[in-house]
Amino acid sequence: MQHKLARRCDDEALIEELLDKLASEGLQDDERFTESFVHHRVSMGQGPIKIQQELRQRGVDQNLIEHALAGDSFDWMSLANEVRIKKFGENVPDDYQKKAKQLRFLYSRGFSGELINQLFK
């Protein structure tokens, strides 16, 4: 939010004061934003790597990101499989080119190579 405000206002002290006031009133909470953002991106079929990258770009603290993505909250393997089935269907391809296409797709969605390899075993 600070970056968005800085585009319209040059007074950093005013921006800090405004953000502090919003936080004290409970109107701006990074933890709530992070959890909401993660749940929204998961519902869109994105993996943890991509979600983490997008949160970092938005200036979210690394500890908040790790907390939101860690634990048993999400079954990344099931999500990756659902995303793959939705795009390519139930059958796992035997053809190397078709399999590579699915691998690249899952990488682009933000799933790790380790998770993808487990999925195709």
Q: What is the pLDDT of residues 16-58, one digit of tens each?
A: 777 777 667 666 677 888 999 999 999 999 999 999 999 999 8
**Angle (deg, nearest 10), helices 96-108 and 76-88:** 120
Q: State residue 109's pLDDT score.
A: 96
Q: Is the pLDDT of residue 71 over 80?
A: no
Token readout for 43 is: 């519902």
Map tokens 């939101």 to a residue: 68
| CB-CB contact of 46 with 107 (8 Å) | no
- Any alpha helices (H) in 1-121, and if so which ranges? 2-8, 12-24, 30-43, 48-57, 62-69, 76-88, 96-108, 113-119
The mean pLDDT of 95-112, rounded to a whole number, is: 94
Q: Where, residue-wise, is CATH 1.10.10 in the chain?
A: 76-119
Percent of the chain at pLDDT > 90 equals 56
Q: Please give the CATH topology (third level) of the domain spanning 76-119.
A: Arc Repressor Mutant, subunit A (1.10.10)
CA distance 29 to 6: 18
